Amino acid sequence: MQYDRLITGVAAVFAVLTGMLTVVGVVVNPAVLFLALLFGASAYFMYYHASGKLAADVYERVERRAARGARRQRGAPRGGFGAGPREEWEAPRGGQRVREAAQRARQARQQQRRRRQGRQQQARQQRRQRQGQRIQQTNGPTPSEAYARLDLDASADQGAVKQAYREKVKEVHPDTDTGSEAEFKRVKAAYETLTD
């Protein structure tokens, strides 16, 4: 919200009230002029504040006081308590500083939103990669693992793969004495990986 506009609006209302009370005071009762004086003073100080003149006057007074203090302390290093402002300063004019601060805050929020979206997108990509790795692990062994499980070289052809599979199945089939269902499933997955 633009406070300078609000203060200027209230000052305008007070100025209108001042005019109306002045007319009533002159025509009807001079005691009402006291109220008109109070509303007029309030309107003037609100306008003085909203226009930035009050802040500029205060700043100039601080600078003058600091300059007088520096003249009194000849040779003393400038700085410390009461030294006045240390950088160039401009009094606010028409709410410009407020608008600039609001714009900077808006830009900071946009940057935070972009960073948050980037982190979320990166997290989604990492989840997809992990899911892809899990799917790959559950679907079966890699080709190199499949060749090793069937005791074959990577250069073996399809005929050699079938022959090695038949021999391995005879050894690890669950119906045999030395067989195991888990090992049978691994051999079958290796065969399926190499024949797909």
Give 169-193 pLDDT, tens digit per residue. Answer: 888 888 888 888 888 888 888 888 8
- Res 196 pLDDT > 80: no
Query: What predicted TM-score, i.e. pTM, was given to this entire model?
Result: 0.34
Digit-coded pLDDT (tens) for 127-137: 888 776 665 55
What does the angle CA 53 – CA 9 – CA 21 come to, to the nearest 5 degrees?
100
- Residue where the block lists tokens 């500029």: 56
**pLDDT-derived band at 1, boundaries 50, 70, 90:** very low
Tell me which long-range contacts 167-173 makes (C-beta under 8 A, separation of at least 24). none
- Per the structure block, which two tokens stand in for 39? 């509303």
pLDDT of residue 110: 92
DSSP state of 51: T
Q: CATH code for 143-195?
A: 1.10.287.110
User: Contact 69/80 with Cβ under 8 angstroms?
Assistant: no
Residue written as token pair 């269902």: 181
More confident position, 118 or 176: 118
The whole-angstrom separation of Cα 165 and Cα 171 is 10
C-alpha to C-alpha distances, 172 to 141, 143, 162, 165, nearest whole angstrom: 18, 20, 15, 10
